[in-house]
């Protein structure tokens, strides 16, 4: 027969993964503290295995569990010299849940179990505190009634309120023993009325029913939701901790509290926490009386205070981690009821890790591993004031597409945003669209952040936002945007926000607020820099940035980027005069016409590249040739079409027929990337000319330009041959004309399954690969990132998959293709440089994958560079451990 129940003394090493999974974290830490001699009230734990079998058996106890609980209870009674619910010398216990990961408040707890009509009397006379005894009984009936018997709480609360009212007092503590006795009898009447039978007096019945209730709470709605959101295992089960009660409500020499060994908000080493005198645990949470800070305890109970301060040290010394623990003081004696790793802000996480290294508690490696890379997001963007935001209601919630906070006037048209900004450059605008398009780029530039009703976390708005380091909430399906009419609404809430009304967005949570919430500056202190230096010393992967402008490049370099992994040249074609020349090129019927227009674009492109080379002096700059389909550069609105026709001096019909001819059913799979270059080589030739001329100019100015020319949307070996020849021939001609040689590399953006399959052949003509995981994910799955939102949320709900594959590299599918490419490519060319430049380059899980498959670097948006650096260090350290 299996062992389902362990007393706290039986397990010596509680702080291990195995113990935590078997006993639940709470149970395991109770064992750990017990074995370290900390003052833990004795008790025992039913394993999570017991819970799992409970479910397997259709909510029945596995064979043996009953006997084992009985045996452990008897042992506990013997140890305590008391008997559960006894009428002379009663033992009382708490019954608490506890899974492998702490799920605070999600499952059930019952305190004071063992209370009945007789034990309450015995307890009162034993403790000489009748009031405390009846108060505990009252609390027990209420909790048991709620959790086990499923009676609505307000029924009990109503009685309590009425009693206080009748007596004319405000606090429970002002009720005396007699009042409480009356309440208890009224509580019992409620139970009888609701359930048709008496409140159970038998302590064993109380215990088994409570264990059942805790098991069952594993699958209650809020626990299921919590696990879904936090991506926790549904099959783990909860442990059940049965622990002898200590009472914080025994009078003014008793109390209860919660403490952190360091400040979880800012990381300072101080006595953080709070307590209540003469109270049980739930009173702290309930917030009826205001708890006092830890150091205030000194004046009430100096001895217990001393013990508590020592406990801070013992816990940190033992766990080598900041702890969040609960304590109760019963008649001046301190007991610990629970400890766990303390949750903290990013800022605190960084400070604590660095401080602990300095204090000699942990190593540099450990310090680096202590900070979750994703958490750094909080350090890199302005935030909504956390206090002020509490006062505002969330009116809608979309996808957390780009972190940071934006506050400004709602504007529904990019053109208008631009106009407003031109009139008043201090104007704060939040651009709100059903979806954004490349035409909106200038309006996006002048906005604080973006909110879109459609599009995923890799939609245009989201990608641009992350590139610009601006906040974005995308795919906010709850809202309907009426661009023309100038408002948006949240139909489910009957809310309508008109143009120029102020809204606030949190791009890190996806929350949208009506009205203005003040912003707080990001806090970047010395410890952050120090930690990042340590991280860099451990990581093996290079970290580059995706940047299209010298400004972005500079920002990223400040964040530690070691090069540009992706410069999207097309973003350069949308501004001012450039878009005109681009359109002229597209509308030209002849090669000469196209060349003429391209000649106008050349100086712009050249200047752009020069700026990038300057900003990245000495570092690689990967420039991708024109990628999007040409129709993206043409106007859509009737008015814009007319304006264009007038400007170009051609007929409206001509413009329309070009737009019509370029229309595509599936632009994602259409006429784009190197396909454009093969049909119209003159476009790529102009771009190569601009790159090489900029490199030559750089060299003459003493700047070390390291251009890497990247060919997009490639799937055939002959495409690569064609492009390599085109690039080399163009470069050679320019170098001859200019009488100056510069070095450059030619590589390929690997973003189609076919390219991965023939990577060995492509590698013969390429010096580097860079995985474009957005498109590779789209084609491997057959998911359009713009459309898949419709079903991806259902897929997550129905657990068809665990992670959105656009957030994190799908290792089973896309990852296999990446692995295949790396291995085939390096077989042809062992020195092949291989990176990743899709959106996932800044996702820690994906960074770990990239490290493991041997990539040379990852590239991500500037504001994710520190995250990727830390993630790369984590990957290297984990790899070393293996």
Residues with catalytic annotation?
460, 837
Is residue 810 part of the contact set for a second copy (CB under 8 A)? yes
Is residue 293 part of the contact set for a second copy (CB under 8 A)? no
* Of residues 487, 510, 505, the one with CA closest to residue 408: 505
- Give the separation between CA 810 and CA 821, rounded to whole angstroms: 15
Among 55, 204, 300, 795, binds a second copy (CB under 8 A): 795
Among 355, 620, 775, 804, binds a second copy (CB under 8 A): 775
Is residue 728 part of the contact set for a second copy (CB under 8 A)? no
Among 392, 786, 803, 826, binds a second copy (CB under 8 A): 786
Tell me the closest approach of the beta carbon of residue 435 to a second copy, in angstroms. Answer: 9
Q: Is the dihedral of CA 72, 75, 79, 80 positive or negative?
A: positive
Q: H/E element holding 817?
A: helix 814-828
Q: Check: CB of residue 338 under 8 Å from CB of residue 27.
A: no
Among 423, 426, 799, 881, binds a second copy (CB under 8 A): 799
Residues 6+ apart with CB under 8 A from 657: none
- State the binding string over 736-755 for a second copy (x if CB under 8 A, else -): ---------------xxxx-
Is residue 141 part of the contact set for a second copy (CB under 8 A)? no
* Of residues 90, 87, 112, 77, the one with CA closest to residue 207: 112
Is residue 757 part of the contact set for a second copy (CB under 8 A)? yes
Binding positions for a second copy, 412-441, rule CB under 8 A: none
- Strand-pair category, 90-91 with 43-46: unpaired
Among 185, 558, 718, 736, binds a second copy (CB under 8 A): 718
**Beta carbon nearer to a second copy, 690 or 752:** 752
Q: Residues binding a second copy: what is the number (CB under 8 A)?
A: 48
- State the binding string over 7-36 for a second copy (x if CB under 8 A, else -): ------------------------------
- Give the separation between CA 373 and CA 873, rounded to whole angstroms: 10
Tell me the closest approach of the beta carbon of residue 836 to a second copy, in angstroms. Answer: 18
Is residue 725 part of the contact set for a second copy (CB under 8 A)? no
CA 260 to chain centre: 23
Among 126, 201, 523, 784, binds a second copy (CB under 8 A): 784
Question: Dihedral through CA 836, CA 840, CA 846, CA 848, nearest 10?
Answer: 60
Q: Check: CB of residue 264 under 8 Å from CB of residue 342.
A: yes
Stretch that binds a second copy, among 20-28, 177-185, 346-354, 781-789 (CB under 8 A): 781-789
Stretch that binds a second copy, among 5-13, 149-157, 634-642, 716-724 (CB under 8 A): 716-724
Q: Check: CB of residue 540 under 8 Å from CB of residue 868.
A: no
Is residue 817 part of the contact set for a second copy (CB under 8 A)? yes
707 phi and psi angles, rounded to 5 deg: -80, 135
Q: How many CB atoms lie within 10 A of CB 368?
A: 27
Tell me the closest approach of the beta carbon of residue 357 to a second copy, in angstroms. Answer: 43
Tell me the closest approach of the beta carbon of residue 795 to a second copy, in angstroms. Answer: 7
Tell me the closest approach of the beta carbon of residue 271 to a second copy, in angstroms. Answer: 49
Tell me the closest approach of the beta carbon of residue 624 to a second copy, in angstroms. Answer: 15
Is residue 790 part of the contact set for a second copy (CB under 8 A)? yes
- Give the separation between CA 187 and CA 117, rounded to whole angstroms: 13
Tell me the closest approach of the beta carbon of residue 788 to a second copy, in angstroms. Answer: 7
Q: H/E element holding 625?
A: none
Tell me the closest approach of the beta carbon of residue 592 to a second copy, in angstroms. Answer: 19
**Beta carbon nearer to a second copy, 68 or 821:** 821
Q: Using the 8-state DSSP alphabet, how is residue 510 labeled?
A: T
Is residue 64 part of the contact set for a second copy (CB under 8 A)? no
Is residue 804 part of the contact set for a second copy (CB under 8 A)? no
**Beta carbon nearer to a second copy, 14 or 772:** 772
Is residue 602 part of the contact set for a second copy (CB under 8 A)? no
- Give the separation between CA 345 and CA 355, rounded to whole angstroms: 15
Residues 6+ apart with CB under 8 A from 847: 373, 541, 841, 858, 868, 871, 872, 874, 875
Q: Check: CB of residue 482 under 8 Å from CB of residue 489.
A: yes
- Strand-pair category, 706-711 with 620-624: parallel
- State the binding string over 645-674 for a second copy (x if CB under 8 A, else -): -------------------xxxxxxxx---
- Give the separation between CA 612 and CA 156, rounded to whole angstroms: 69
Is residue 235 part of the contact set for a second copy (CB under 8 A)? no
Reading the block at residue 240, the tokens are 């059940």
What stretches of 774-854 adopt beta strand conformation (E)?
833-836
**Beta carbon nearer to a second copy, 258 or 750:** 750
- Strand-pair category, 472-474 with 399-402: antiparallel
Q: Using the 8-state DSSP alphabet, how is residue 343 labeled?
A: P
Q: Give the interface with a second copy as residue ranges (CB under 8 A).
A: 664-671, 675, 678-679, 713, 715-716, 718-719, 722, 751-754, 757-758, 775, 778-784, 786-788, 790-791, 794-795, 798-801, 810, 812-814, 816-817
């Amino acid at each position: 027969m299996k062992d389902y129940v362990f007393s706290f003394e039986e397990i010596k090493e509680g702080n291990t993964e195995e113990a935590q999974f078997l006993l639940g974290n709470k149970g395991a830490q109770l064992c750990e503290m017990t074995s370290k001699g900390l003052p833990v009230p004795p008790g025992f734990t039913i394993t999570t295995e017991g819970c799992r079998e409970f479910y397997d058996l259709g909510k029945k106890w596995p064979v043996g569990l009953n006997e084992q609980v009985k045996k452990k209870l008897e042992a506990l009674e013997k140890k305590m010299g008391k008997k559960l619910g006894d009428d002379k010398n009663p033992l009382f216990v708490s019954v608490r849940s506890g899974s492998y990961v702490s799920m605070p408040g999600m499952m059930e707890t019952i305190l004071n179990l063992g209370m009945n009509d007789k034990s309450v009397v015995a307890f009162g006379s034993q403790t000489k505190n009748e009031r405390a005894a009846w108060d505990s009984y009252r609390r027990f009936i209420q909790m048991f009634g709620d959790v086990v018997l499923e009676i609505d709480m307000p029924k009990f609360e109503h009685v309590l309120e009425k009693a206080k009212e009748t007596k004319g007092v405000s606090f429970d503590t002002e009720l005396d023993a007699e009042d409480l006795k009356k309440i208890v009898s009224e509580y019992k009447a409620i139970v009888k009325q609701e359930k048709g039978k008496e409140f159970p007096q038998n302590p064993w019945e109380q215990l088994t029913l409570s264990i059942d209730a805790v098991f069952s709470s594993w699958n209650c709605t809020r626990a299921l939701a919590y696990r879904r959101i936090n991506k926790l295992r549904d099959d783990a089960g909860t442990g059940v901790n049965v622990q002898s009660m200590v009472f914080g409500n025994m009078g003014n020499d008793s109390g209860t509290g919660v403490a952190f060994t360091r400040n979880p908000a800012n990381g300072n080493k101080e006595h953080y926490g709070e307590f209540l005198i003469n109270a049980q645990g739930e009173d702290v949470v309930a917030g009826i009386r205001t708890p006092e800070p830890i150091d205030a305890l000194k004046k009430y109970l100096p001895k217990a205070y001393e013990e508590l301060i020592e406990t801070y040290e013992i816990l940190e010394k033992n766990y080598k981690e900041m702890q969040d623990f609960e304590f109760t003081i019963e008649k001046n004696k301190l007991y610990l009821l629970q400890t766990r790793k303390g949750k903290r802000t990013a800022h605190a996480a960084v400070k604590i890790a660095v401080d602990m290294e300095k204090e000699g508690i942990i190593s540099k490696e450990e310090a680096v591993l202590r900070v979750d890379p994703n958490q750094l997001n909080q350090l890199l963007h302005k935030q909504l004031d956390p206090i002020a935001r509490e006062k505002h209601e969330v009116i809608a919630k979309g996808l957390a597409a780009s972190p940071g906070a934006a506050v400004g006037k709602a504007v529904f048209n990019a053109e208008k945003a631009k106009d407003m900004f031109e009139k008043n450059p201090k104007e704060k605008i939040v651009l709100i669209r059903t979806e954004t398009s490349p035409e909106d780029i200038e309006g996006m530039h002048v906005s604080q952040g973006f909110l879109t009703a459609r599009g995923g976390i890799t939609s245009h708005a989201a990608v641009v936002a992350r590139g610009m380091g601006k906040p974005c909430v995308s795919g906010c399906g709850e809202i309907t945007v009426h661009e023309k009419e100038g408002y948006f609404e949240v139909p489910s809430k009957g809310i309508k926000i008109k143009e120029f009304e102020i809204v606030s967005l949190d791009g890190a949570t996806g929350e949208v607020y009506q009205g203005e919430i003040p912003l707080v500056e990001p806090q970047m202190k010395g410890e952050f820099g120090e930690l990042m230096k340590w991280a860099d010393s451990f990581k093996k992967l290079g970290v580059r940035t995706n940047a299209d402008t010298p400004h972005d490049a500079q920002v990223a370099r400040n964040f530690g980027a070691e090069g540009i992994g992706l410069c999207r040249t097309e973003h350069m074609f949308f501004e001012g005069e450039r878009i005109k020349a681009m359109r002229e090129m597209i509308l030209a019927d002849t090669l000469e016409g196209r060349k003429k227009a391209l000649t106008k674009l050349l100086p712009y492109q050249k200047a752009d590249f020069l700026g990038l080379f300057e900003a990245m002096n000495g570092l690689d700059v990967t420039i991708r040739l024109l990628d999007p389909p040409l129709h993206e550069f043409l106007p859509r609105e009737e008015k814009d079409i007319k304006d264009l026709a007038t400007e170009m001096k051609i007929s409206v019909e001509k413009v329309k027929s070009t737009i019509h001819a370029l229309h595509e059913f599936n632009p994602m799979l259409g006429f784009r990337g190197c396909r454009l270059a093969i049909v119209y080589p003159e476009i790529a030739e102009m771009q190569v000319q601009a790159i090489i001329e900029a490199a030559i100019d750089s060299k003459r100015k003493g700047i070390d330009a390291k251009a890497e020319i990247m060919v997009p949307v490639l799937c055939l070996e002959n495409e690569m041959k064609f492009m390599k020849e085109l690039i080399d021939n163009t470069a050679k001609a320019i170098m001859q004309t200019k009488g100056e040689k510069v070095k450059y590399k030619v590589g390929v953006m690997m973003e189609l399954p076919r390219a991965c399959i023939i990577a060995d052949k492509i590698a013969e003509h390429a010096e580097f690969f860079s995985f474009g995981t957005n498109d590779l994910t789209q084609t491997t799955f057959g998911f359009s990132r713009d459309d898949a939102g419709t079903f991806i949320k259902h897929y997550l709900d129905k657990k068809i998959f665990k992670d959105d594959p656009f957030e994190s590299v799908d290792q089973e599918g896309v990852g296999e293709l990446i692995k295949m490419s790396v291995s085939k490519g390096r077989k042809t060319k062992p020195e092949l440089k291989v990176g990743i430049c899709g959106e996932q380059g800044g996702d820690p899980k994906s960074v770990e994958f990239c490290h493991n498959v041997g990539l040379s670097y990852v590239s991500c948006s500037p504001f994710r560079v520190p995250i990727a650096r830390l993630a790369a260090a984590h990957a290297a350290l984990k790899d070393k451990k293996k």
